């Protein structure tokens, strides 16, 4: 850009000349001559002055970048908080998972409290409940999350009277067992393997089966895939993935007209794409264990189980619908697999909804599957 500069042409002497037509009116005449405006080219090495309009354009171009950064920050915060909240219950000590007010004597059973370690060293507590008469085998029974071994006592009672020794254990973080980290069944499989080792430490070589409920059922399938000493599995309410459970629970409450606004908003947010992956990452950062984007899938383990498997599902189970049990059934090898659907039962109520059907089905399966 050319700069306009005003310079004075200072002539010598007092001779008068005519007034220039280019005279700048606001510049006074000098006694030495006339003042005339002169256009002088700017120095090519001098920087051009900044232009206000150009600055404005640069600011306007910066605004979209600031907006994208703000959006990215909000997204990161959302998934960070969602991941943290989604995994929060898997850490720490929860008093509601600890209390017990019943024992074997309340169900007419003889028993002793025993202690042993999980495969990874977590201290565990259990009841050893001997069979009535000569035992046909031993059954390790594992409760669902948010429960303790006492809720398994009704199942233990029919197993003991049916001729089986029972080891009813508190999974880690529950009841009287140690541990401050739980999982959708991966870590709990180590508890079951520790229970198997305890049975062998008693000098007992009888055949061993496992009966688990909910995440205890998932743990049972994983343990059976790892140990050839487990000869049969009863998986009551097992789910293909942890993500499936989260999605089915969210779907239920979002469609329930009784769900209030805030709870509905919470479940809506939890169903956003990527929340399960964020939960898995948050769990990894806090535990060092990566559950995968599906929050643990039991399918690979179920496909490696080579022993008889009985799957049990509640007809009205909206946490783990029966089609999810069929999905697991489809990947188990061979033809020594069964699925029993308990009428009118929801999750965790399969025994109480039909105790006679449940007991007879389980005992018949075990009698066929494990023999001395």
DSSP of 113-148: EEEEE-TTS-EEEEEEE--SSS-SEEEEEE--TT--
How much is the average pLDDT of 254-282? Answer: 88
Mean pLDDT of the chain: 86
Based on the number of CB atoms within 10 Å of its own CB, is 190 exposed (0-12), middle (13-18) or buried (19 or more)?
A: buried
Q: Are 210 and 192 in contact (CB under 8 A)?
A: yes
User: For residue 126, which of 169, 87, 78 has the smallest C-alpha distance?
Assistant: 169
Say what the pLDDT of residue 345 is.
Answer: 98
Say what the pLDDT of residue 47 is.
Answer: 53
Kindly give, in sequence order, each residue whose CB lies less than 8 Å from that of residue 363, ignoring residues fewer than 6 positions away. 158, 159, 162
Q: Considering the entire predicted model, what is its pTM?
A: 0.80
Q: Which range has the top average pLDDT, 15-24, 95-104, 275-284, 324-333? A: 324-333
Say what the pLDDT of residue 159 is.
Answer: 98
Q: Are 191 and 219 in contact (CB under 8 A)?
A: yes
The least confident of 31-35, 118-122, 134-138, 180-184 is 31-35
Q: What is the pLDDT of residues 50-106, one digit of tens each?
A: 555 554 455 454 567 787 878 888 878 878 888 888 888 899 988 889 988 899 999
Say what the pLDDT of residue 214 is.
Answer: 97
Q: How far apart are CA 249 and CA 144, in angstroms?
A: 16
Say what the pLDDT of residue 123 is.
Answer: 98
Q: DSSP code of 336?
A: -
Q: Are 237 and 320 in contact (CB under 8 A)?
A: yes
pLDDT at 5 over 50: no
Q: Are 207 and 231 in contact (CB under 8 A)?
A: yes
pLDDT at 11 over 70: no
Say what the pLDDT of residue 218 is.
Answer: 98
pLDDT at 46 over 90: no
């Amino acid at each position: 850009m050319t700069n306009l500069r005003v310079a004075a042409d200072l002539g010598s002497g007092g001779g008068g000349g005519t007034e220039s037509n280019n005279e700048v009116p606001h510049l006074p005449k000098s006694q030495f001559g006339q003042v005339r405006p002169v256009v002088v080219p700017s120095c090519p090495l001098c920087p051009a002055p900044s232009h206000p309009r150009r600055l404005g354009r640069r600011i306007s171009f910066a605004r979209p970048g600031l907006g994208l950064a703000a959006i990215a920050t909000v997204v990161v915060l959302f998934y960070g908080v969602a991941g943290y909240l989604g995994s929060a219950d898997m850490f720490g000590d929860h008093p509601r998972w600890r209390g017990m007010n019943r024992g074997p004597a309340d169900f007419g059973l003889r028993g002793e409290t025993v202690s042993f370690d999980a495969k990874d060293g977590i201290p565990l507590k259990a009841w050893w409940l001997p069979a009535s008469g000569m035992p046909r085998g031993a059954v390790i029974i594992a409760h669902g999350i948010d429960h303790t071994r006492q809720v398994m006592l009704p199942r233990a009672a029919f197993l003991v009277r049916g001729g089986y020794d029972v080891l009813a254990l508190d999974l880690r973080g529950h009841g009287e067992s140690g541990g401050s980290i739980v999982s959708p069944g991966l870590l709990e499989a180590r508890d079951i393997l520790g229970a198997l080792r305890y049975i062998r430490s008693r000098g007992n070589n009888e055949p061993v089966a496992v009966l688990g409920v909910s995440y205890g059922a998932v743990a049972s399938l994983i343990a059976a895939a790892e140990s050839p000493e487990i000869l049969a599995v009863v998986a009551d309410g097992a789910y293909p993935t942890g993500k499936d459970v989260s999605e089915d629970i969210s779907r239920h409450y979002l469609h329930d007209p009784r769900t209030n606004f805030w709870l509905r908003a919470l479940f809506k947010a939890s169903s956003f794409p990527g929340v399960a992956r964020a939960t898995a990452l948050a769990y990894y950062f806090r535990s060092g264990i990566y559950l995968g984007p599906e929050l643990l899938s039991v399918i690979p383990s179920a496909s490696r189980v080579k022993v008889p498997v009985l799957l049990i599902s509640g007809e009205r189970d909206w946490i783990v619908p029966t089609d999810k049990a069929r999905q697991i059934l489809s990947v188990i090898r061979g033809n020594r697999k069964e699925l029993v659907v308990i009428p009118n039962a929801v999750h965790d109520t399969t025994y109480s909804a039909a105790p006679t059907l449940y007991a007879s089905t389980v005992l018949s399966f075990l009698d066929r599957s494990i023999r001395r």
